[in-house]
Structure 1
Amino acid sequence: MAGGEMMNDVTLLAAVVQDAPVPLWVIDEKGLLSLANDSAARFLGHRRGADLQGGPSHDLLHRHRPDGSPYPSHECPIISLGSAKASAEWFVTLAGDVREVCWTTKPVGTSGHVLLTFAQPHRRHHETMNSHRPLVRQMSTAGSHTRLHRELSQVIDERFVDPSFSTASLADAAHLSVRSVQVIFAARGRSPAAEIRRRRLDHARYLLERGMTVQMACHESGFLDASTFARAYRQHFGFPPSRTLRVNELPSPPLSG
Structure 2
Amino acid sequence: MDALTDGMPHDAAFLSTVLRDAPLPLWVIDEHGRVELANDAAVRFLGHRPGTDLRGGKSHDLLHRHRPDGTPYPTHECPIVHAKQPFAASEWFVTQAGDVRPVRWSTRPLAGTDSVLLSFAALSGTPDGAAGLAPAPRETRAQTRARLLAEMKRSIAARMTDPMFCTSTLAADTHLSVRSVQAIFAEAGTSPAAEIRRRRLEHARVLLEQGESVQWACHSSGFHDADSFARAYRQHFGFAPSRTREP
* TM-score w.r.t. length of structure 2: 0.55
2: CA distance between counterparts of 1:105 and 1:86?
19
Task: Give every structure 1 segment of 4 or more consecutive aligned residues whose post-TM-superposition deviation is greater than 4 Å.
Answer: 96-106
Q: Choose 1 or 2 for highest CA Rg.
A: 1
> Do the aligned residues in 2 keep the contact of 1:87 with 1:103 (CA within 8 Å)?
no
Give matches, 1:194-233, under 5 Å: 194-233=194-233
Q: Secondary structure at the match of 2:228?
A: helix
* Alpha-carbon separation, structure 1, partners of 2:196 and 2:173: 14
Q: 2:185 aligns to what?
A: 185
Question: What SS is found at the alignment partner of 1:239?
Answer: coil
Deviation at 1:222, TM superposition (A): 0.9
Residue 63 of structure 1 is matched in structure 2 by 44
Residues 43, 50 of structure 2: 8 Å contact kept: no
Return 5+ residue gaps in structure 1 as ranges.
Answer: 1-5, 12-25, 44-56, 79-84, 107-115, 121-140, 249-257
Displacement of 1:65 after TM fit? 6.8
Matches of 1:242 and 1:104, distance apart in 2: 59
Cα shift at 1:228: 0.9
1:110 aligns to what?
none
Distance in 2 between residues matched to 1:177 and 1:194, nearest whole Å: 18
Shift of 1:173: 1.4
Alpha-carbon displacement from aligned partner over 1:61-114 (angstroms, at most 9, x marks no partner): 223875xxx6251x4256xxxxxx896234859xx74689999999xxxxxxxx
Structure 2: tracts of 5 or more residues without a match:
5-14, 28-38, 64-92, 111-115, 121-137
Partner of 1:76: 53
Q: Is the Cα contact below 8 Å between 1:204 and 1:220 reproduced in 2?
A: yes
AA aligned to 1:166 is C
Q: Is the alpha carbon distance of 1:103 and 1:30 closer, same or farther for their aligned partners in structure 2, counting shifts above 3 Å?
A: closer
Query: Corresponding residue for 2:3?
Result: 10
The structure-2 alpha-carbon separation of the partners of 1:87 and 1:242, relative to structure 1 and needing over 3 Å to count, comes to closer
The aligned residue for residue 157 of structure 2 is 157
1:32 matched to which residue of 2? 21
1:236 is displaced (CA, Å) by: 0.9
> Which residue matches 1:169?
169
Structure 2 residue matching 1:118: 3-state secondary structure: strand
Contact preservation (8 Å) 2:201, 2:233 = yes
- Structure 1 residues 149, 87: closer, same or farther in 2, change over 3 A? closer
Distance 1:147 1:86, change over 3 A: closer
Residue 232 of structure 1 and its aligned partner are, at CA, apart by 0.6
Shift in alpha-carbon separation, 1:178–1:27, aligned structure 2, 3 A: same
Greater share of helix: 1
- Superposed CA deviations along residues 105-142 of structure 1, whole A, max 9, x for unmatched, are 99xxxxxxxxx92268xxxxxxxxxxxxxxxxxxxx84
Counterpart position of 1:128 = none
Q: Secondary structure at the match of 2:188?
A: coil
Give the direction of change, closer, same or farther, for the CA distance of 1:162–1:29 in structure 2 (3 Å limit).
same
What is the distance in 2 between the residues matched to 1:102 and 1:163? 41
Q: Does 1:241 align with 2:237?
A: no
2:208–2:217: 8 Å Cα contact kept in structure 1? yes
Q: Quote how far apart the aligned CAs of 1:149 are.
A: 1.2
